[in-house]
Amino acid sequence: MAHPLPARYSPDELIEQLREAAEEIAPELPGIRAEETLEGEAAQTIEELADALRRIAGGAPRPQDLARAALEAKAPLKPIGRPKSTVVKLQKPRR
């Protein structure tokens, strides 16, 4: 009897998993942000490719241009995770 194939991840699920992995590994890599890890870049690339495919499937004009732009991977990296707090706790003045 053949074993059923495991369910595949959707592009959105892959993106989420990769970004979570990027956030986990980045603290172990000094000076490297989560979006700069292989997992972070892979997540953004899949996101850009999936977006281009959705637009092409939806009948967007000039599909070749959309595909070329997605394959060039020249968009800046998007930050992953929560922004670091820049709020500084104010101290009470001494009298």
pLDDT of residue 28: 95
What sign results for the dihedral spanned by CA atoms 76, 58, 12, 84? positive
Location of structure tokens 């959705």: 54
Q: How far apart are CA 18 and CA 41, in angstroms?
A: 9
Location of structure tokens 């394959």: 71
pTM over 0.85? The answer is: no
Digit-coded pLDDT (tens) for 18-36: 999 999 999 999 999 999 9
CB-based contact 81:37 (threshold 8 Å) = no
Q: How far apart are CA 56 and CA 18, in angstroms?
A: 24
pLDDT of residue 88: 54
